[in-house]
């Protein structure tokens, strides 16, 4: 099995050391480098081509948000998991707008952290329970239900978008709808284009905001 290549981007040496110790104990994961600033994260991310960057938000050199934006715009195959102490709405939504596929707090236990890392490594979007609850509460309070949600989508695309909003992977959607994985991927690509979103996390947010869940 090809290991999941990870870049750790955080300006705190103790956190980087602890995270590397945890990741080095996992046979399916390989730490390919460490970055100590936003600019460093961008340079090493583009040079090392990791599958996943563990990104702190508060770093010198442009910070984690700008680094996330630059990396995801430059290489869509580099996924970003924000690992931070900040759980305010502004930080969460700014990270998602920048292209992060997940958001988890630094006080998460090892099992939760590894579950998030592996999920995003597979192309899924994931949030720690605390953050997920905040997202649900936010959208529940701002939801506007339209009689026809996303009329630009076909019925099948709308059905798949709903399953994306529920956190299902492409493989799970293919199994549930009894269609091929390639067909699901084609529909997902069409959904991204029609909704003008960059990735799965943004599509899920748009769906939930519109009441499609």
The domains of the chain are located at 4-137, 144-209
What percentage of the chain reaches a pLDDT higher than 70?
Answer: 91
In three-state secondary structure terms, 93 is helix
CA distances from 77 to 15, 123, 148, 199 (A): 25, 9, 33, 11
d(CA 201, CA 197): 9
Burial 113-146 (b: 16+ CB within 10 A, else e): bbebbbbbbeebbbbbeebeebbeebbeeeeeee
CATH annotation of 4-137: 3.40.50.2300
pLDDT at 140 over 70: no
Q: Which of 73-77, 117-121, 177-181 is the least confident region?
A: 177-181
pLDDT computed for residue 148 by the predictor: 66
Largest CA distance in the chain: 52
Per-residue pLDDT of 110-132, as tens digits, reads 988 998 999 898 888 888 776 77
Residue 209's pLDDT band (cuts 50, 70, 90): confident
For residue 137, what pLDDT is reported? 63
Lowest mean pLDDT: which of 29-43, 65-79, 93-107? 93-107
Query: How many Cα neighbours within 13 Å face the side chain of 92?
Result: 19
> What is the reported pLDDT for 108?
87
Residue 145 has pLDDT above 50, yes or no: no
205-210 mean pLDDT: 84
Instruction: Assess whether pLDDT exceeds 50 at residue 144.
Output: no
Number of CB atoms found within 10 A of residue 192's CB: 15
CATH code given to domain 144-209: 1.10.10.10
pLDDT, averaged across the chain: 87
């Amino acid at each position: 099995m090809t290991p999941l290549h990870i870049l750790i981007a955080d300006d705190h040496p103790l956190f980087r050391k602890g995270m590397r110790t945890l990741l080095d104990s996992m046979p399916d994961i390989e730490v390919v480098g460490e970055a100590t600033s936003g600019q460093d994260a961008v340079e090493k991310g583009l040079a090392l081509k990791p599958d996943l960057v563990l990104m702190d938000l508060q770093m010198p050199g442009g910070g984690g948000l700008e680094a996330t934006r630059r990396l995801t715009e430059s290489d869509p195959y580099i996924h970003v998991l924000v690992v931070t102490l900040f759980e305010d709405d502004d930080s969460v939504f700014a990270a998602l707008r920048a292209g992060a596929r997940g958001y988890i707090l630094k006080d998460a236990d090892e099992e939760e952290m590894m579950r998030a890392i592996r999920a995003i490594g597979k192309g899924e979007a994931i949030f720690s329970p605390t953050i997920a609850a905040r997202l649900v509460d936010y959208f529940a309070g701002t939801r506007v239900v339209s009689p026809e949600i996303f009329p630009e989508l076909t019925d099948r695309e709308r059905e798949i978008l709903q399953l994306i909003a529920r956190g299902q992977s492409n493989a799970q959607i293919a199994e549930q709808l009894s269609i091929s994985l390639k067909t699901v991927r084609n529909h997902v690509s069409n959904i991204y284009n029609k909704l003008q979103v960059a990735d799965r996390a943004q599509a899920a947010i748009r769906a939930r905001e519109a009441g499609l869940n």
